[in-house]
Chain A
Amino acid sequence: MATERVELEAPLDFAFQGVVRLIVGGIAEQASFGFEAMDDLQLAIERLLAETGGDGRVKISFEVTDGGVRTRVGPLREGQLADALQEPDGDMGTLTLRRILSTVVDSFGVEEAGDGQIVVRLEKLGTPLS
């Protein structure tokens, strides 16, 4: 399957989380993810958006490949979020956003997007039907 790209711009409002989750579900289905992998990707994006703590809108892009789904969220004006994502994990028992993402996606990172903004990258590999 050729790499396909899907772009989405959505309100950060909690009321629209369901819409985003539904779209993420559809994308995960296209990548032949199993229920659990789909749920993981949905949770990753959901928690990331929740932690931005902002209102306004957010851009999310997805690349669906044979290998999985690469997601980019942002640009976001959120220096504190970037710090939290780049800090090493805290002691066991401290449930940070970093720990959540480390568990549910295969890799993630932060890119500078200029003008004090960041883009968060998430990669969920397509361990088929897992």
Chain B
Amino acid sequence: MEGRAGRAAQQREDRELLRRYHETGDTLAREKLIARHLPLVRSLARRYAGRGEPLEDIEQVGAIGLIKAIDRFDLDREVSLATYATPNVVGEIKRHFRDKGWAIRVPRSLQELNAKMSSTIDDLTARLGHSPSVMEIAESLGTTTEEVLEALEVGSAYSTLSLDTGPGGDDEGDPMETIGSEDEEFDRSEDRATLGPALARLPEREREILRMRFEEGLPQTQIAERVGLSQMHVSRLIRRSLVAMREELG
């Protein structure tokens, strides 16, 4: 009974936050809703783990589904946000896998190797005290250097595509981008090779990672520690952010 009462209370709080967001544009309420339902996203994302992509990437995609659900929620609906968001989150994750063709085009052995890569690199970095070579990674995983390179490559290729939002022709843009605000620290420039304006439109976490890498000059390992991600994930976020910024500039 206590659990049911607790859920009912949470639903009432959700509804109040949704009302504040939709009726008054209270973005703080929106952020609270996102934070309150991230455990749901993580739980749903875990169902899709082990398919060749790091869990944290799947969670990120699922979070986009959550944000879309919050933004599209109709206050007249007699349904809880969790109930409404679940198919949105799952749909976003499924569409993500389907559109990128990950499961279809990449051999299962490479998917599995890629899934192990992130933790292997972090473990070896900690154990060896330096960023491991491809040979060291291969030895640790009991495979060849060629397969390690291939597995890294399929992950990189996949991640540079995965920042694209609105798969399947959806032109809604990336809801995550609306979280970040304009950062006046980054100057605008007419220089063709300057990515400043596009930088300001990246999500806050990506901007912070780029700032640490290219302003502070921190290595990926230190950035990974600071933001609580794997080194490989930091590498992918840097790459995909730069690709997205360049594409935006055309």
Contacts and interface: CB of A to CB of B under 8 A. Distances in A.
Interface of B: 121, 125, 128, 130-137, 145-146, 149-150, 152-153, 156-157, 183, 185-187, 189, 191-196, 199, 210-211, 213-215, 217, 219-221, 231-232, 235, 238-239, 242-243, 245-246
A92 B186 CA distance: 7
Interface stretch (A2-10, A29-37, A62-70): A29-37
A95 B194 contact: yes
Interface of chain A, main secondary structure: helix
Given A18-B153, A25-B153, A34-B133, A103 B214 contact: yes
Nearest to B145: A29
Interface of chain B, main secondary structure: helix
A35 B156 contact: no
Interface residues of A, number: 41
A103 B213 CA distance: 8
A18 B156 CA distance: 8
A129 B242 contact: no
A89 to B, nearest CB: 10
Interface string A44-58: 001100110100000
A94 B193 contact: no
A21 B156 contact: yes
A103 B210 CA distance: 11
Interface in A75-126: 80-81, 84-85, 87, 90-100, 103
Nearest to B137: A35
A39 B195 CA distance: 20
Contacts of A51: 192-193, 246
